[in-house]
Chain A
Amino acid sequence: MAMRHGQWSSHRPVRFFAAVGESAQSRVERLALRTGLQRVATPRAASLLLIAGGIPEQSWPALRRLHDQLPHPRGALYWGEGPPPLPDVVEVEPSDTPATAMRRLQAELERDPRASSQDLLPNEPPAPWQGKGPHGQGGEGMMGGTPYGRPMTMRGDELRDGLRLDAHEVTVGPFAPMLPPGLALGLRLQGDVIQQVALIQPPFRDAAAEAPFAEALDRPVAVADLERARAAHHLRCVGRFCALRGALALAARAHASAERARAGNGAGLGTLGRLLWLSGLRPGIAPGLGTLGPAQQGCLLGPALRAAGRPDDLRSRRDPYTGAGFAPVTQRNGDVRARIDQWLAEARQALALAARLEHQPPVAFAAGLEGPAGPLGTPATGDGPRLDLDALLRGLEWGEAVSVLASFSPQALRRMLGEADR
């Protein structure tokens, strides 16, 4: 009986919200894809909070607020190196899969709801909701100010139509599931049109995405492995983008292609390209969306740079590649559409290169090489102009802005925002 109960509970659906920290994004995605645990988009739908990867200390307050957003009974797990950022969490080794621990914790919570993780912050508004004006309003006048500890709306210029309507100020991130992990933005919005963007925190470092490439800076590695990792990275980015735009079948296909690409199998990439059109994904994005102004072009990196028509790729100057007849692929417009096309084209090219360079002896690239998000190990990295998010996103609707941010890989976005890790 106990055994049967155990079996049954192993099929129990576990809904978890992932607070994705450093170098953990693809790890979390693979966990959700392989184990059938359900990763949900809002903490309110989750019973477990999975803190994956290291969380820098400046994001701990946000993590605490996030923790309290889960409904009781709830539990929290920490799946990363170093001391856990929250008290009272179940710790899982980074090399292990947390699936078993998550199922066990879920079963325990169902057996005894009192084991639920307690609130970390007091549940009260930042200031008491009491009126002080003649009609009980919070401020002196009827708008503006921060009457209850929350900024009230204030009129601001509308960019598109000239009507001066109420604008509200909000902070989004660093654990918002539609933004790159770690990115936190201070936004001023009118309706869903973005009036102003302030960068609060750039995306977290994603060393895992570049790990094989960083390794090649120090010691010889097989070039075919590098190219397969590149293809998988790009396809995963395409998959994330498709999922954000609701094309779930396409996203599933892209993620499956990424898994296959790790084994060097490039089947179905042509179909994926055609489906981008047929599903309405490409036609549904306005042409020219996410193009950088002339002053900003200099901060583009890697695939995004080549999508804007510049054939800059360190591989065209590195030995085994030149021998294999490598020439960078480029797109013309440098908009969101072009960046998606570029990822797909580079993934296909990388798999072709991997097949051609399969028997090449391992090579080290001490002078730097082209990573999936731009050049690695060259002195120039990180010295270029910084990306101005306000110029990039101002005037866009929410959905468009999210798409523009998702058209860069998180690591590329981090570097373009001026964070040099290496």
Chain B
Amino acid sequence: MSPLGALGVTLGVLVAGVVLVGLLDALARLVLGPVPLETPDRLTLEGLRGAVRRQSLTTEHPDLAAWRLAPAAYLGLAAAGLALVPVAADRAAVDVEAGIVVWGAVESLTVIAVFLHGWSSNSLLPLLGAYRFVAIGLSVMLVSMFVLIGAALPAESLRLTAIVESQRGLWNAVRQPLGLPLFLLLGLAITLRGPMDYADSADLAGGTSAEDSGAPRLAWQFARAAMLVAFATMAATVFLGGPLGPLLPGPVWLLLKAGFVAALLVALGRLLARPDASRMLTFIWVVLLPLSFLDLAIAGLETLR
């Protein structure tokens, strides 16, 4: 694929995906019930029109460059993650030798984008959200790294197309049952959702985005939905066999699986409660990290067999 073509396809899929995420959110609200005060904004076409016309306020002495850059960085990282995903068994927009390491870089840079977003507005509640997110985000990223290495083991390669190919017989979600649930937690964290939403939560009145208004606010919410698209396709690729499947063409299978993951995350985000940050941190280090070691051990033994 030519570089321009790859860029076009990636951005097109990203925008379509964000629309789907908006619909999934609306559906979840309909099924699970409305609440009197909802922290993250609803992504609607109307909201888009309104946001563009609304003034974007600033605070006293913000780090303006970082503040405006953070949503762009978040969106760019989502696009980079999405570009790595193989849309057919042997083809991705960007097929690199160490694809899974690139996704790792996307995860860690996402933590930085969220931190900068909270830090730069020079305001209390966003700053608290940024601090909390770094502590939780870095810890859960560590868990996801072990899980991803486990998923790369049967493929004997870091290349994502090879990881898809290795699931032709059996999905990684079945072969390594601990992998997908642990990876989903990371997804909740980097998409700022539900129980892992320590950055933009209700007890901080929106946390890192509490001071955003107008177009920058919309950009952040858009990027947040875009990251869900990137994460869902990545999870579907690494654990659910990506585009592999009978009868239907590969991209359709990928879409169905990614849609399932996205719906799962949207639902979990509304269903589960956010534990206190210190309690969550203990839980990650004492329970989840050992579980990810166990997952890696299972993957290793299975590969040696």
- A and B are interacting partners: yes
| A residues neighboring B (CB under 8 Å) | 12-13, 15, 28-30, 32-33, 36, 38-42, 44-45, 47, 69, 71-73, 110, 113, 125, 129, 150, 168, 170, 172, 176-178, 189, 191-192, 239, 242-253, 255-256, 279-281, 283-286, 289, 397-400, 402-403
Q: Which residues of A contact B280 (CB under 8 A)?
A: 284
Instruction: State which of A32, A249, A398 has its C-beta within 8 Å of the C-beta of B37.
Output: A32
Q: Which residues of A contact B211 (CB under 8 A)?
A: 42, 44
Q: Which residues of B contact A242 (CB under 8 A)?
A: 273
Contact across chains for A13 and B46 when beta carbons are under 8 A apart: yes
Contact across chains for B37 and A41 when beta carbons are under 8 A apart: yes
* Distance from B224 Cβ to chain A, minimum over Cβ atoms (Å): 14
Q: A250-B273, A281-B273 are in contact. Are A47 and B203 (CB under 8 A)?
A: no
Q: For the complex, would chain B's binding face be called helix, strand, loop or mixed by DSSP majority?
A: loop
Instruction: State which of B35, B132, B195, B272 has its C-beta within 8 Å of the C-beta of A243.
Output: B35
Q: Of B6-14, B82-90, B212-220, B241-249, which stretch is located at the interface?
A: B212-220
Contact across chains for A13 and B60 when beta carbons are under 8 A apart: no
* Distance from A7 Cβ to chain B, minimum over Cβ atoms (Å): 14
- Of chain B, the residue at the smallest CB distance from A250 is B273
The answer to the question of B255 belonging to the interface, with a C-beta cut-off of 8 Å to chain A, is no
Contact across chains for B273 and A397 when beta carbons are under 8 A apart: no
- Of chain A, the residue at the smallest CB distance from B210 is A42
Contact across chains for A284 and B213 when beta carbons are under 8 A apart: no
Q: Which of B21-55 contact A (CB under 8 A)?
A: 32-39, 41-42, 44, 46-47, 50, 53-55
The answer to the question of B270 belonging to the interface, with a C-beta cut-off of 8 Å to chain A, is yes
Contact across chains for A280 and B205 when beta carbons are under 8 A apart: no
- 7 smallest A-B Cβ distances: which pairs? A252-B33, A284-B275, A281-B273, A247-B273, A29-B36, A44-B213, A249-B32
Q: A32-B36, A125-B60, A177-B37 are in contact. Are A245 and B205 (CB under 8 A)?
A: no
In the complex, given contacts A244-B202, A286-B279, what are 16 additional A-B residue pairs having Cβ atoms less than 8 angstroms apart?
A: A13-B47, A13-B50, A38-B38, A41-B205, A42-B205, A44-B213, A44-B217, A71-B56, A245-B203, A246-B201, A246-B272, A255-B36, A256-B33, A281-B273, A399-B276, A400-B276
Bound-complex Cα distance A397 to B281 (A): 13
Q: Which residues of A contact B132 (CB under 8 A)?
A: 192, 399
Bound-complex Cα distance A88 to B204 (A): 30
Instruction: State which of A13, A29, A402, A403 has its C-beta within 8 Å of the C-beta of B44.
Output: A13
Q: Which residues of A contact B209 (CB under 8 A)?
A: 42
Q: Which residues of B contact A253 (CB under 8 A)?
A: 33
* Distance from B192 Cβ to chain A, minimum over Cβ atoms (Å): 11
Contact across chains for A284 and B205 when beta carbons are under 8 A apart: no
The answer to the question of B197 belonging to the interface, with a C-beta cut-off of 8 Å to chain A, is yes
* Distance from B141 Cβ to chain A, minimum over Cβ atoms (Å): 20
Bound-complex Cα distance A29 to B13 (A): 38
Contact across chains for B204 and A178 when beta carbons are under 8 A apart: yes
Q: Which residues of B contact A113 (CB under 8 A)?
A: 53
Contact across chains for B54 and A73 when beta carbons are under 8 A apart: yes
Contact across chains for B36 and A39 when beta carbons are under 8 A apart: yes
The answer to the question of B128 belonging to the interface, with a C-beta cut-off of 8 Å to chain A, is yes
Contact across chains for A246 and B202 when beta carbons are under 8 A apart: yes
Q: Which residues of A contact B55 (CB under 8 A)?
A: 71-73
Contact across chains for B33 and A398 when beta carbons are under 8 A apart: no
- Of chain B, the residue at the smallest CB distance from A178 is B203
The answer to the question of B57 belonging to the interface, with a C-beta cut-off of 8 Å to chain A, is yes
- Of chain B, the residue at the smallest CB distance from A193 is B278
* Distance from B211 Cβ to chain A, minimum over Cβ atoms (Å): 6
| B residues neighboring A (CB under 8 Å) | 32-39, 41-42, 44, 46-47, 50, 53-57, 60-61, 124, 128, 131-132, 194-195, 197, 201-206, 209-214, 217, 269-280
Bound-complex Cα distance A285 to B131 (A): 20
Contact across chains for B35 and A251 when beta carbons are under 8 A apart: yes
Bound-complex Cα distance A69 to B204 (A): 16
Bound-complex Cα distance A242 to B210 (A): 20
Contact across chains for B213 and A13 when beta carbons are under 8 A apart: no
Count chain B CB atoms within 10 A of each CB in A28, A45, A285 and give the residue with the most.
Answer: A45
Q: A44-B212, A284-B279 are in contact. Are A246 and B44 (CB under 8 A)?
A: no
Instruction: State which of B42, B217, B276 has its C-beta within 8 Å of the C-beta of A38.
Output: B42
Q: Which residues of A contact B214 (CB under 8 A)?
A: 71
Contact across chains for A397 and B276 when beta carbons are under 8 A apart: yes
* Distance from B166 Cβ to chain A, minimum over Cβ atoms (Å): 34
Bound-complex Cα distance A73 to B50 (A): 10
A-B contact pairs, 19 of them (CB 8 A): A15-B50, A29-B36, A30-B36, A41-B39, A42-B209, A42-B211, A45-B41, A73-B55, A110-B50, A125-B60, A176-B205, A177-B37, A178-B202, A178-B205, A245-B202, A247-B274, A284-B274, A285-B276, A403-B276
